[in-house]
Chains A and B, each alone.
Chain A
C-alpha cells in the first residue's frame, strides 16, 4: 500500500490519539514516578487500549481469510492495521512507564518492538517495492506460476529450435537429390551453431535459470552472446534468434521477479508468527496481572 495523501485522516487521528495519550501519561505518571505504572488506573487504560489495538491489527489476518464477508473494505482494515498497530507501541510504552520489565514482560516488550519495527519495515517495502517491480520486471507474471510459465518457455524454445533446424533439414531433403550430400551438409553447417548454442547455453539456462555461471543470466553478457551467434548463422534464422533473446530476457525477468517478490513477502515470515506469539503472551500477561 502506498502511504499517500489518502492516509491523511488516519494520520491526523493517530496523532490526536498519541497527543491525548501523552498528555494523560504526563498527568498520571509524574506522581508515581517511582512505582510501577502498569497497575495504576491510567496504566491499565493504556494497557487495554494498546492490547485492543494489537488485537485489531491481528484481526487483519482473519479478515483476509474471508474476503467476501462484507464488513468493512479490505482497504479500511489495512489502514487501521497500519496506524492502530503503530499506535500500540507508544501506548504500551506508556503502560509500562517506559520500563523494560522482567521475565514475561521483558519478552513482551521485545516481541512488541520487533513486531512493530518489522511492520514498519514491511510497510516501507510495500510502499516502494511495487514501483520497483513494475519498473524492472515488465514481463511479470504470477509468482506462483513462475515454474509453470518457465516450463512453457522451455517448450516454446524447443519448438523454435525444432522449427528452425528441422525446417532447414526438410528443405535440404526436399530440394537436393537423394544422393547429393554436399548441399545437405552445407545447410546443416549453417544451422549447427544455432543448435550448439541451444544445447550448450540456452537449454541449460532455461532448465536452471537461477544457476550461476550461465552467461545468459546477465543481460549484457547475453546480448553479446546473441550478437556473436547472429554472426554465425544466416539471416533467415535471425528472427529465431530474436525470439530466443526474448525468451532469455523473460527468464531473467522472472528470476528478478522471484527475488523481488521474496523481499516483498519474506518479512511476513517474521512479522506474523511473532505477532501471534505476542498476542498470546499478551493475553496471558493480562490475565495474570489482572487476576492477581
Chain B
C-alpha cells in the first residue's frame, strides 16, 4: 500500500462522500484549505471496485476524475485498431471498372496512408499513454486519471477496469481544480508524468526517435512542465523562437494570421508537439499557439538543447530537415489563402470552407443519384446529405467542407481526427466512437456509423467476440478515384466539388458592384 496514511482512514461504502478530515490526512490534500473541503463536502466520494469491475468506459461522457488509493487498474482501448477505409477490389481492368467501394475497418498494417505520423503511442486521459501495438497499460496507487473529462467535459478516452480490488476517490471539477493548484499534488503528478509518459512522448517526436536512452534520460530531467488557462497565449506569431513544446494535456490551437483572417493550422492534443524550429535557435515563430482549454505543456528550452545537440549531431540534421519541411508547408498554406472575404459569403460560413460540394439547383432534378453513388461507394452509408442552405442557386450540400478552422478536431479524447495536406480529414484507427466530433461539426457533416468488429472478450481472455463498434465517418473526397463518386454519378452536371472562392469568384466579383458596396 502506497499510502501509509490510509491505514488510519476509515473506509466508507462505495459512493459515500469522503469526510474532509479523512481527505486532509492524504498527503496530496495537504495544502488544501479545510473550509473549502468542508464546503464541498459531497464533491469527493469513496469508490470501491472489485476485481474485474469496469470503472469507466471509453466514449462515455463524464465529469469526474479518479484518484487511485489502493489496488491496480487496467486501462485499455476496447475499440478495434482499424480505420474506416473505402476501397475497391484490387485487380485488373475489369475489377477497377466495376469497383464498388466498401467501407471496411482496416488496420494500419494493411493500409499505410502516406505522410502518416507513424505514431506509436496513443494519448489518453491518464498518466500513461497506450502503445499502438498493445494498447493496454496499468495504473497504480497515487495515479490520477480522467483529468480531461473532469476539467473539460470530454468523453472518457479509454476503458478502465479494476485488475485487483481497488479503492479510489472520485472527484468533481472544483476539487480537482484546487488540487491542481496545490504544490504537493502538482509535484506528484509531474513526477508520475516524467516517469511514465514523458519518455514515450519524447520518443514519438520524430526527430528524437532514433536517439539513445541516455539522451532521453538527460532531456527528461531538464524539461519544464507548464500550465495554461483557456485562451492564454503560449507563444505569439513573430516571437523569437527559443523553445520546444510538447502537449501533455488539453488542446492547443496553432494558427496563422493573414490579412484575410485567421487560419487554424492544427489543434494539437496530448503527445503532439510544436516549435521544433525553436530548438535550433534564431528565427521567429511563424504561427501563434494558444490554449484552447486547460492546457499543460512540456517545454524544452533551446539553451538546454543546444548543449545536447553538440553531442548528437544527427539530431541537428533531423531538426534542420524538419524546419525545411515546415517552411515549405507554410509557403504552401500562404499561397492558398486569398483576398478579403465578402459579407454575404461569410454569412453562411462558406469562407471557412476550403472545399464545398455544391449542387446547381437549376440543373439538379432531385434524383438522388449523388447520394446513392456515395452510399454505394461507402458500403451503403452515405457521407453526404442533399440538404442544407442555399447560396444563390446552389445548394451547399452537407458534406465535409475541409474547414480552415476544423472545429471537429477540437476535443477528440484520443486525438484520432486530423487532417492531411491534401485537405482530407482523417479519422485514425483508434477512434472510440464517442461522437464528439460529430457534435462539434457546425454543419452536421460527421455521422457516427456502426460497424461489426471483433474485439477482445474480457470474460474469456484470449478469445474475440463480435461487437458493434461506432466509428465516426465523414466525406473522404473519394481520394481513391480521380473524381468524387457523387460528382461522377450526377447525370445532369449539377454536382461540383469546388474551392468556394475560385468557384464563386465571378459572382463575388459581381456582387461587389461598381460602387464597391456589397450588394445583398
Q: Do chains A and B touch in the complex (CB under 8 A)?
A: yes
Give A contacts to B, CB under 8 Å.
1-2, 6, 60, 64, 66-71, 73-75, 77-78, 126, 129-131, 133-134, 138, 141-144, 261, 264-265
Is B488's CB under 8 angstroms from A70's CB?
yes
Is B372's CB under 8 angstroms from A264's CB?
no
Q: Which residues of B contact A138 (CB under 8 A)?
A: 390
Which interface class (under 10, 10 to 19, 20 to 34, 35 or more) fits B?
A: 20 to 34
Q: Which residues of A contact B368 (CB under 8 A)?
A: 142, 144
CB distance from A126 to the nearest CB of B (A): 5
Select A261's contact among B97, B361, B363, B366, beta carbons within 8 Å: B366
Cα A64 to Cα B376 in complex, Å, equals 11
Show 28 A/B contacts (Cβ-Cβ < 8 Å), sorted by A.
A1-B365, A1-B491, A64-B369, A64-B491, A66-B98, A67-B372, A67-B373, A67-B376, A67-B485, A68-B373, A68-B377, A68-B485, A69-B98, A73-B483, A74-B488, A74-B490, A74-B491, A75-B490, A75-B492, A75-B493, A78-B491, A130-B362, A130-B363, A138-B390, A142-B387, A264-B365, A264-B366, A265-B365
Cα A2 to Cα B493 in complex, Å, equals 9
Select from chain A the residue with minimum beta-carbon distance to B97. A71
Q: Is B393 an interface residue (CB 8 A)?
A: yes
Beyond A1-B365, A6-B493, 12 extra complex contacts between A and B, CB < 8 Å = A67-B372, A67-B376, A67-B485, A67-B488, A69-B97, A74-B369, A74-B491, A130-B363, A138-B390, A142-B366, A264-B365, A265-B365
Q: Is B460 an interface residue (CB 8 A)?
A: no
Q: Which residues of A contact B365 (CB under 8 A)?
A: 1, 126, 129-130, 264-265
> What's the dominant secondary structure at chain A's contact region?
helix
Give B contacts to A, CB under 8 Å.
96-101, 361-369, 372-373, 376-377, 386-387, 390, 393, 481, 483, 485, 488-493
Q: Which residues of B contact A75 (CB under 8 A)?
A: 490-493
Q: Which residues of A contact B97 (CB under 8 A)?
A: 69-71
Is A126's CB under 8 angstroms from B362's CB?
no
Is B362's CB under 8 angstroms from A69's CB?
no
Q: Which residues of A contact B373 (CB under 8 A)?
A: 67-68
Select from chain B the residue with minimum beta-carbon distance to A2. B363
Q: Which residues of A contact B369 (CB under 8 A)?
A: 64, 67, 74
Cα A264 to Cα B373 in complex, Å, equals 21
Is A68's CB under 8 angstroms from B362's CB?
no
Cα A157 to Cα B99 in complex, Å, equals 46
Q: Which residues of A contact B490 (CB under 8 A)?
A: 74-75
Q: Which residues of B contact A131 (CB under 8 A)?
A: 362
Q: Which residues of B contact A143 (CB under 8 A)?
A: 366
Is B100's CB under 8 angstroms from A1's CB?
no
Is B363's CB under 8 angstroms from A1's CB?
yes
Q: Which residues of A contact B393 (CB under 8 A)?
A: 134
Q: Which residues of A contact B101 (CB under 8 A)?
A: 68
CB distance from B387 to the nearest CB of A (A): 6
Select B376's contact among A1, A68, A133, beta carbons within 8 Å: A68
Select B364's contact among A6, A60, A130, A141, beta carbons within 8 Å: A130
CB distance from A121 to the nearest CB of B (A): 14
Q: Which has the most chain A C-beta neighbours within 10 Å: B97, B100, B366, B367?
A: B366
